[in-house]
Structure 1
Amino acid sequence: MLGIPDKSVPACSTCHGQHAEGTGGFPRLAGRYADYVEKQILVFWSAGLRPRGEVMKTISDNMSDRDIRAVAAFMEAFPAEAEAAASPAVDR
């Protein structure tokens, strides 16, 4: 997850975790359906809504439709197990 440096688009891992597992107030992206990720980016692009919306609006403003589709497809292909691996075990 390198981002798009020539467009000032940082790597998703900067906020969403090394494996896109989600961190703090930033949601998990790993394993999400591409359609979902694409729609979320477009919501930020069009309205800048949601928590941390201003940051994502700035990022998405610099992304082309092709960039958005590529990120969405990458996240769908990224193992959803990254979240489970990153979470501590819970004894029951």
Structure 2
Amino acid sequence: MPDLLTGLPNPTRILFDLQQANEIAQSLAGCFEPEAIAQRVTAGLVEKFDCAFARLWLLEPDRSNLKLVASSGLYTRTDGKFGRVPMGAYKVGKIAQNRVSFLSN
């Protein structure tokens, strides 16, 4: 959260978030399967950052669709409506098409 006077992020919060991200990264040690890595990342985001849910899509080889490979938190299914999303479709497809990150709360 930014400091109200300076508008800069709180250094203590940045350090805390970096430590949480490092713990997620450490949980990947010895994990070599892409699906298992994706699942550990989404589970870590939900656990460490108190997210309602986290999802991870990968671009399919034909580069026309995103495949939902991991989902943790409130929504754990990967085979539902958003299991495969065309590039440019829905919010996630537009984010991928424009190559910009997105965080919502």
State if a TM-score over 0.5 links the two structures: no
> Normalising to structure 2: TM-score of the pair?
0.24
Higher relative contact order (CA 8 A, sep 6+): 1
More strand by share: 2
> Normalising to structure 1: TM-score of the pair?
0.26
